[in-house]
Structure 1
Amino acid sequence: MTSEYDYDAVVIGGGQSGLAAAHYLTAQHLNTAILEASGEATGSWPRYYDSLTLFSPARYSALPGRCFPGDPDRYPHRDEVIDYLRSYAADVGADIHTRTPVETVTYTGGKGFAVTTGSGAVFTAPRVIAATGSFDSPFLPAVPGRDEFEGRLLHAGEYRTPGEFTDQRVIVVGAGNSAVQIAAELAEHTQVVLASRAPVKFVPQRPLGRDVHFWFTVSGFDAAPLGRIVKDAPTQPVLDAGRYRTALAAGKPQRREMFTAFTSEGVVWRDGSRMPVDVVVFATGYRPHLPYLAGTGAVTESGVPRQSQGLSPTHPGLGFLGLEWQRTPSSNSLRGVGRDAAYLVRRLRPAAAWRRRPVR
């Protein structure tokens, strides 16, 4: 027998975006379900590489309603973020259904949505927020000969520790924070080239003695609604206190312009020279992961959500959260998703009236 659950709101995804959405939904006394595919509501953080530290201090890395614990000026480690999200989820006031991957979302008109999970359970609600992020849709650029390459090819999302690459010839592709951080870490263990289409752009981590996020905040840049005019998300400059610029200057890693093709044994550089390579790591970003909305008209054929500042123009009651540059430069970050969640929940209007019920 199919299990059916009726809620005022269903949030798909239990990471930072989904938790921020649930915070504001439950504050409005809406009976809210979070459907999370993994075993706990910590998003993609447990799958990031082991040495990852935030690029923003703890004071600027919190979700709404709960400060990040400890020294507010430190840069938290990945595992600290995981612990923070666990604690946040425990008090968010929503029903969190873990190991509940969503298969399809069906729009039922005036009654709202039917969300069907992998087990066949159906969750109905007049409001659905898609907050599944992008980690499960890594982007790999099309490079001639890629299928012929006999070495190891992986995305940054699969990278964990540098030890497994010792004595291997590695190329890291990308020019953003993750690409430079991974390449510099690997360069302490093996031969690494950082390949990118444009030179790496650096931003001082602490201009005038204050972290750059302080200046982003006091200037209003971090919360500026620029998403409406940004068509393609730009590569973020690398925040650096000097370590990465020094490493690149020393050739650890060596930086080269992006190669033009793969061979079976390596790559071909723009000048025609060839280089044998064991591993290529693409730190080339992600795309929205919304397969459960395919065929609804809420996303394009390529899976890009049709949305304006998170609101669906095609389906009343459907919203998106955690998209890169959704509303602001910080939309898909810990420090910015809370603003977007507040904006979205205030404006998300279902097609039909719904009744308020106490949070269970």
Structure 2
Amino acid sequence: MTEQTDVVVVGGGQAGLAAGYHLRRLGIEHVILDACAAPGGAWQHTWDSLRLFSPAAYSSLPGRLMPVQEGQPYPGAAHVVDYLADYEKRYELPVRHGVRVAAVHRDATFLRAETDRGDWRARAVISATGTWGRPFLPVVPGRGEFTGRQLHTVQYRSPAEFAGQRVIVVGGGNSGAQIAADLTGHAHVTWVTRRPPRYLADDIDGRALFDAATARRRALDEGRTDTGGVASLGDIVAVPPVRAARDTGLLTAKPMFTRLTATGAQWADGTRSEADAVIWCTGFRPALTHLAGLRLRGTRGHIATDRTRAADEPRLHLLGYGDWTGPASATLIGVGRTAREATRELALLIR
């Protein structure tokens, strides 16, 4: 059976909900198809101790401030899940949970979304699937030889399962620093990074990051010098647990090893470190396999965009994948602005 609507939104996390909010305000018929069985997007699958970089008031979707989490200046992931579930319900957004979109195809004047629960034909599609579903693992010599446990950020939950073990945490970004800090005191941690860790100033949080990303986009749009945006400030937000581990000397990074061995890692100078587990905090790539049939990717796998609109398919917008789809668009506070711009452009297309 094929159903029809004006806009299909693929993904019911923060970006998909922000799109739904603005589509609803514009009176555009739409449906939000979400592979997750319950509300909350990727936030319901993160590690237990994860916290936002910003206070609740600066972590809100359009129309509804996130409530303060009592006793916590920076809300935890479970609080975000509750907020997103409430947001979905409050605005009566047409989310269909447990529906996985396998592919999007052109269908005459429509786009057709093939799902495991039937197809949808729409005049436009907003892809808002994020990156959590596509973890990146680097090619490292010996990775297949290591006999211990290997997992990615997406599979890490709590330090309890690594109690007393020797754990190598790979990655110099926020997830690497946070997970390494989370494990200190529970496991014997070796934190490795490709370059020395770059901490943002201790007083910088998500508010400043959003402002920096916005200023960079404005400068580029106006033809001025690139400010460098968030990358110019550093790689790691010094949230309280990271700051505490760093200041007590428990969070000291080693250079990246040259290879894994059967029982651990080896560095260029011949130094070895035994390990029971390696946690790869090595980032993500946009989850865009459902768009492969549209043949929009360039030689490097990137879909060219004009802000959020796909350059070669005006009926498709990409929302929430990072700065290439809008300043800070992969954040709660940042995605609202780009969602508003995308839905306004679609309103002109549809009407």
* Structure 1 match to 2:74: 75
Distance 1:199 1:140 in 2: 20
Distance 1:231 1:313 in 2: 24
How far apart in 2 are the matches of 1:125 and 1:350? 15
Question: Would the alpha carbon gap of residues 248 and 70 (structure 1) be closer, same or farther in structure 2, given more than 3 Å must change?
Answer: closer
Considering fraction of residues, name the structure with more helix. 2
Match of 1:318 among 316, 319, 334: 316
Residue 193 of structure 2 corresponds to residue 196 of structure 1: yes
Q: What is aligned with 2:103?
A: 104
Matches of 1:232 and 1:137, distance apart in 2: 25
1:90 aligns with 2:89: yes
Q: CA deviation at 1:144?
A: 0.8
2:223 corresponds to which residue? Answer: none
1:238-275 CA deviation, whole Å, 9 max, x = no partner?
Answer: 22266534523544244100111111111111222122
Structure 1, residues 211-232: CA drift from partner, whole Å, max 9, x if none? 6445456xx4242353967999
Give the whole-Å Cα distance in 1 for the aligned partners of 2:99 and 2:125. Answer: 15
Residue aligning to 2:124: 127
Q: Check the 8 A contact 2:53/2:239 in 1, yes or no.
A: no
List structure 1 segments (4+ residues) > 6 angstroms apart after TM superposition.
227-233
* Structure-1 separation of matches of 2:57 and 2:68: 9
Percent identity of paired positions between Structure 1 and Structure 2: 36
Q: Are residues 349 and 107 of structure 1, via their aligned partners in 2, closer, same or farther at CA, if it must alter by over 3 Å?
A: farther
TM-score normalised by structure 2 residue count: 0.90
Task: Tell me if the contact between 1:174 and 1:282 (Cα under 8 Å) persists in the aligned partners.
Answer: yes
Code of the aligned partner of 1:129: I
Q: TM-score, normalised by structure 1?
A: 0.88
Distance 1:222 1:19 in 2: 22
Match for residue 155 of structure 2 among 144, 154, 158: 158
Structure 1 counterpart of 2:181, one-letter code: A
What is the CA-CA distance between 1:338 and the residue it aligns to?
0.6
Query: Which segment drifts farther, 324-333 or 140-149?
Result: 324-333
Q: Which moved more, 1:252-261 or 1:47-56?
A: 252-261
Mind listing any 5+ residue stretches in structure 2 that lack a counterpart?
A: 221-225
Which of 253, 270, 275 is the aligned partner of 1:255? 253
Instruction: Deviation per CA, 1:82-130: give whole Å up to 9, x if none.
Output: 0000011113343211111001111124x220111013x1111111000
Conserved 8 A contact 2:53-2:206: no
Structure 1 residues 304-328: Cα deviation after superposition (integer angstroms, max 9, x where no partner): 3332221101112100011121255
- Report the CA distance shift for 1:301/1:94 in structure 2 as closer, same or farther (over 3 A): farther
| 1:189-238 deviation digits (Å, cap 9, x = unpaired) | 010011001111112342xxxx6445456xx4242353967999959522
Deviates more, 1:316-325 or 1:342-351: 342-351
Change (3 A) 1:5 1:242: closer
Amino acid at match of 1:291: T
For 1:144 and 1:297, the matched residues in 2 are separated by: 33
Q: Report the AA paired with residue 99 of structure 2.
A: T
Give the counterpart of 1:140 among 121, 137, 140.
Answer: 137
RMSD: 2.5
Give the direction of change, closer, same or farther, for the CA distance of 1:260–1:234 in structure 2 (3 Å limit).
farther
CA contact (8 A) 2:53 2:237 kept: yes
Letter in 2 for 1:268: Q
Distance in 1 between residues matched to 2:240 and 2:62, nearest whole Å: 32
- Map residues 204-353 of structure 1 onto 2, 5 A cutoff: 204-206=201-203, 212-215=205-208, 220-224=211-215, 226=217, 234=231, 237-240=235-238, 243-248=241-246, 250-300=248-298, 303-348=301-346, 353=350
Question: Take 2:41 and 2:216, find their aligned partners in 1: how far apart are those partners?
Answer: 25
Structure 2 SS opposite 1:295: helix
Structure 1's 349 and 24: CA in aligned 2 closer, same or farther, altered over 3 A?
closer
Partners of 1:134 and 1:288 within 8 A in 2:
yes
Q: Quote the residue 1:38 is aligned against.
A: 36
Contact 2:166–2:187 (8 Å) recurs in 1 = yes
Indicate the larger mover: 326-335 or 245-254.
Answer: 245-254
Give the conservation status (yes or no) of the 8 Å contact 1:31–1:94: no
Give me the whole-angstrom Cα distance separating, in 1, the residues matched to 2:230 and 2:135: 15
